[in-house]
Structure 1
């Protein structure tokens, strides 16, 4: 059994952060929280390990920055960027808006979207995101192994010649 990924929750509402921590820690997840996307960005771009991120969309900022800005930064700067499981957890952006983001900003969009207070629990969202990431990781590792074996075979063939 693979060790669980840590979970990072980013939301500017203290009650949402506290509720997320309670739910996830009750299921033995290691949870870190941020109430500011700038602080989250400073810390998370320097991490090299993968994690599941639960991210709010709207941060009521005067500069208009949203969770998509943090998503874009992590997709481009984090070592696991494109496969990092980023779960949008929002009470303001709707499913249609999320689909438009996925269409328009394909490679930098969040991995999934869940409406706060919807039918799917936060624990289910995190479990699904982690499983998807672990599947991606296994595929990447198999590909790397194949490349290494092919390279070794080519090196042996060249030595035989």
Structure 2
């Protein structure tokens, strides 16, 4: 059972949202669902904590916006944007089309791609995305702590040198 990041599923296929939510909740995640990328964007940009996003590609919108547009927005505007675990989960775009669609957008692309008809278990996809993020966050925090400690050592050494100079002047 997961006690980690919340999961957000964005898909305009209502018949998929509830079963995905139930499955992921059964596995222990807190799950929010959205059937519209605009509503999802508004809600997700208000969040400051990280989450795992499972997003569809094609939303049958007259403006042509896709899951890539939501991904791009979150990568650029969410506090955890560049590291946010985003799982592209699509039934209409295959692996080759996915790679072609993300060409030129690699810096803002999703973390993973899974076709809905593949034998890949969405629970495993979410679990792997969550774990990769948690590993990244732990490493980032360890590096930040190390830099802070090294900086404190440098400050102490600089302070010791100042004390020696002050002592010599006396």
Report 1 or 2 for greater relative contact order, CA contacts < 8 Å, sequence distance ≥ 6: 1
Rounded to whole Å, the distance in 2 between the matches of 1:89 and 1:100 is 16
Which residue matches 1:14?
14
- Residues 57-84 of structure 1 show CA distances to partners (whole Å, capped at 9, x for unaligned) of 0001111111111101100111111110
Give ranges in structure 2 of 5+ residues lacking alignment: 162-170
**Per-residue Cα deviation, 1:79-101 (whole angstroms, up to 9, x for no partner):** 11111000000001111122334
TM-score by length of 2: 0.90
- The structural deviation recorded for 1:102 is 4.6
| Cα deviation, residue 117, structure 1 | 2.3
The alignment covers a number of residue pairs equal to 161
Match of 2:145 in 1: 145
* C-alpha deviation, 1:25, in angstroms: 1.5
The root-mean-square deviation of aligned C-alpha atoms, in Å, is 1.5
Normalising by structure 1, we get a TM-score of 0.95
Q: For structure 1, which segment, 85-94 or 149-158, has the greater mean C-alpha deviation from structure 2 after superposition? A: 149-158
Which segments of 5 or more consecutive residues in structure 1 lack a partner in the other structure?
none
CA distance in 2, matches of 1:19, 1:113: 20
